Amino acid sequence: MSRRALRWIGPGLLLLALITGCDRMPAPPAEQRAARLAADTGPIQVGLAWNFGLDRFLDGAELARRQINEDGGLLGRPLEFVIVDDTLGRGGAVGTALRVSTELANHPRLMAVIGHYLSDVAIPASVTYEDEGILFLAPSAFRTSLTRHGFRYTFRTIPNSDFLSRQQAIFAHGQELRRIAILETRESWTEELANAFETSALNLDLEIIFRRSFFTHHRDFRDIFADLSAQRFDAIFLASGLDTALRIVGQAREMGLRIPILVGHFAGLEAFERELSEAADSVLAPVVINPESEDPRVQRFINEFQRAFLVPPDDGAAQGYDAVMLMAHAIRRSASTIPLTVATTLRYSVSWRGVTGRHSFRRDGDIYTKMVSFSVLSNGEIDYISPSD
Amino acid sequence: MVKSTISAPVIEFRRNRWWWGIGLCLLLGIVPVGLAQQSRSFVNIVGAQAAYRFLSQVVERFGETTIYKYPLIEATGDEAGITMFCLELAVETPDILMLDRRMRLEEYARCARNGVGELIEMFIGFEAVVIVSGTEMPPLDLDLGELFLALAATVPNPSNPQEIVENPHRRWQAIHSRLPDAPISILGPPTGSALERLLAQRGLALGCQRLEAIQALAETNPVEYRQVCHRLREDTEIYEPVSLHNDTLLERLMENPSQLALTTYGFLQDYRDDLRHVLVDSIPPSVTVMQEHRYPLARPLYVYLKVGHLQLIPGLREFAEELVSEETVGRRGYLRDLGLVTLPPPDLEALIRTVELMSPMEPPTPTTAEIMAEAGTDEEVPPEDPVLTLDLAAWEAVKNSENILMFQLYLEKFPEGQFLEMANRRLEELQTAAAEAAAVAEDIEALEDDSGAGDDG
């Protein structure tokens, strides 16, 4: 046999093995689930994975479920939830992700999961959902890597850190805050936010006059403000957890810095108002729902939520409500509960408006239409500024 | 038989030609995949805040009534919007730019220089503030300086103009003796609204420029100058921002004959019989004067679209058609309800035709009025020569090219251009190089024929 012929033996055998072997393997879990769901006529099962007691996310989702079922359900079938607590436990974020996602995936008729508060949990959990063929809507995880794996079942219903920071830079530009100082804790998620903000700010011809990072256990920021006092600037962009943010704002005000402080992520201003009272004036944070909006959908949601749960809805409630309603819209539009079919509808043809804004998705599953509003503390009151104002 | 002069590399290539072929196939296979991943399946709009609220409504409707996904719309402001839009012709850059003024020649040239290519210009109407009163109020003509003195939070002290004080004016006659002997009472647009911004940016800022005492401040303290020139008074018994339904606003005006309201042009049109408009700088609010750039409290809204993106972005043409349709910007269009001053029917028909045919715009030529308005001066400024600017932009685009056609095209378009000599010289160089390359290629071909026969044997 010639050497040329020998060269083809290896690839040939591999091809043969693939052709003959495929039909003897069991169908992958995603296909098995799709087949089960195609034959299913019972209630439509959706998993909710959330940090219990964190906010009103579960109440928002529950309100949506009640409304859907009162209107006759989805495709004539009721919607039911499987709820799991994904508060960080043993094994850290990855261990929690594995525990919660496996627990949910063990429900054979589960078609979708909505939730996972933290990106560090949502990202590993998305691998399970991809393997198991479960539609996954992430309403809170904003780190960009969630949608960078080309997964077919993963969607994010909150602006990712690039899009969020871009909107903050545009907001700063619109408010004529042209010279910005960036303060950030040394964590990967805050660094991602700060980097994205800096890039967007520079694209908009804003000036970053100062950037300083510090460890999360840092307690005294007065030296930073002393350094900053030599500079002329209009605002601070702050990427940190809530405790550090409270400390920084308090110390900045103590040292006479009254300039606006833009909080880098979705942090409710109530804690600032509660802890710092007047010192929290001019602190701004992005929000997904503007309770002062004149949109009748928003006002209806606020009223119905308040009636059902006797408290006003927060961002978590609005995200939970919209994620369930969005999924319902995509199921109706697809006339199917097969996750891949619903995912295809979401990816290529959804233009749906909820109480948190417009929903359309990039091919990678990232939402690109949700424009945030900004909450600002002024004389102890929270005011809201929307991009359309 | 031709003797080989470059045998070694060619023979090496011949030996490995199958591997090269496979590599090329893989490359061709990979590149389209890469492009497909980068492709965008929605329209991207950037630009001025003033236009944002109008186009945002079009985006909403377009998403809900067509098969296309929602466009992405961002109020980046004029300058940043132009920078992004004019960056290049590529799907990573926006398709549509919205402005609250016409694109300037320099900006058009920047787009051309960066190879953005042809643009469609859509002038969709105006955003305007009008001042109205009930019919019992005597006719009023306010100049912008007087309007500033009535509305601003701080003004020059009447007894010592060098000093800036809280606005003390409570009656019109305190501002000027020719004005009515009546209290100042004005209903304004809601706080933070687009109309309020327009009032501050146009009414107050332009009025401020009429007052010498404040102009001095512009040089000595620009920060304070900006505050003085943009801040509305907060004593609500004199100036009250209100968010009222049209009928309620009309009722308020009827109840108090000396009250004025700052509102939309549509409100004036709808209640023309019950209202009297106030002249601003002796100019009545009308579409005609707005088109002549004479009404100071109005700004035009322009939208620009990249022709080169029509084939790349699904729904772009359809979005443009929705934007200029009768249902959107016509006399009964839904943008009128938001305060858009709509175009007269012949202008709208021309706009619809422009979009149907996708007729590219001509380079903008600034009018004298525009130049004077931009410069904020009464002195005439000579306009920039558009041909010279375009010539420069075209030369910037071709000068580093290795393509003969680009230089031939430049010479054809600008036969008497500023860079005629350099273009001719570069063309000659490229033609000589091309001729030499052709000769070498012939040699290689002959050599391949020759060595190919040997292999077969």
Residue A22 has pLDDT above 60, yes or no: no
Give the least confident one: B172-176, B188-192, B249-253: B188-192
Using CB atoms, which residue from B63, B80, B193 is nearest to A351?
A: B63
- A185 near A248, Cβ under 8 Å? no
Confidence of residue A354 (pLDDT cuts 50, 70, 90): very high
**Average pLDDT in chain B:** 82
Domains of chain B are 7-37+396-456 (no CATH), 39-125+301-382 (3.40.190.10), 130-291 (3.40.190.10)
Q: What number is the average pLDDT over the span B264-268? A: 89
Q: Inform me whether the pLDDT recorded for B107 exceeds 90.
A: yes
- Based on the number of CB atoms within 10 Å of its own CB, is B252 exposed (0-12), middle (13-18) or buried (19 or more)? middle
A117 has a pLDDT exceeding 90: yes
A349–B41 C-beta distance less than 8 A = no
Residue at B85: amino acid letter: F
Of B70, B80, B194, the CB nearest to A351: B70
pLDDT band, residue B174 (cuts 50/70/90) = very high
- For the ranges A65-74, A214-223, B323-332, the lowest mean pLDDT is seen at A214-223
Chain A residues with beta carbon closer than 8 angstroms to that of B70: 351, 358-360, 369
Q: Which residues of B touch A (CB under 8 A)?
A: 37, 41-42, 49, 52-53, 56, 59-60, 63-64, 67-70, 72, 74-77, 79-80, 83-84, 192-194
User: How far is Cα B397 from Cα B285, in angstroms, rounded to an integer?
Assistant: 44
Res. B366: pLDDT tops 80: no
3-state secondary structure (DSSP) of residue A362 = coil
Q: How far is A369 from chain B (nearest CA, A)?
A: 6
Q: Has residue A119 got a pLDDT over 90?
A: yes
User: Residue A77 — pLDDT band, cuts 50, 70, 90?
Assistant: very high
Question: So what's the pLDDT on residue A19?
Answer: 57
Instruction: Write out the residue limits of the CATH 3.40.50.2300 domain(s) in chain A.
Output: 31-158+294-359, 162-287
Interface test with A, best of B44, B59, B69 (most A CBs within 10 A): B69
CA-nearest residue of chain B to A368? B72
Q: Which residues of B touch A369 (CB under 8 A)?
A: 70, 72
- ∠ Cα A257 A259 A265 (to 5°): 110
State mean pLDDT over A238-245: 93
**pTM of the predicted model, to two decimals?**
0.78
Do A203 and B80 lie within an 8 Å CB cutoff?
A: yes
Cβ–Cβ gap B77/A173 under 8 Å: yes
ipTM: 0.85
Weakest-pLDDT range from A30-39, A320-329, A371-380: A371-380
d(C-alpha B385, C-alpha B414), whole Å: 14
Residue A89 has pLDDT above 50, yes or no: yes
User: Is the pLDDT higher at B226 or at B351?
Assistant: B351
* Among candidates A204, A371, A388 on the partner chain, residue whose Cβ is nearest the Cβ of B80: A204
Question: Confidence band (pLDDT; 50, 70, 90) for A238?
Answer: very high
pLDDT for res A2: 60
The CATH architecture of the domain made up of A31-158+294-359 is 3-Layer(aba) Sandwich (3.40)
- Taking residues A43-60, report their average pLDDT: 94
pLDDT of B455? 37
Mean pLDDT of B378-397: 60
Instruction: Determine the pLDDT at residue A161.
Output: 95
Lowest model confidence (mean pLDDT) among A104-108, A163-167, A220-224, B382-386? B382-386
One-letter amino acid at A31 equals E
Q: What CATH number should be reported for the domain whose range is A162-287? A: 3.40.50.2300
Answer yes or no: do B76 and A369 touch at CB < 8 A: no
CB contact under 8 A, B192 and A204: no
B209 vs A23, more confident: B209
Residue carrying the six token digits 């991602």: A192
pLDDT in tens, B15-37: 454 444 434 433 333 333 333 34
Which residue type sits at B232?
L
Query: For residue A108, is pLDDT > 50?
Result: yes
Confidence of residue A277 (pLDDT cuts 50, 70, 90): confident
Q: How high is the mean pLDDT of chain A? A: 91
- pLDDT band for A266, please (50, 70, 90 cuts): confident
Residue A199 buriedness (CB in 10 A; 0-12 / 13-18 / 19+): middle
Lowest mean pLDDT among A146-150, B409-413, B452-456: B452-456
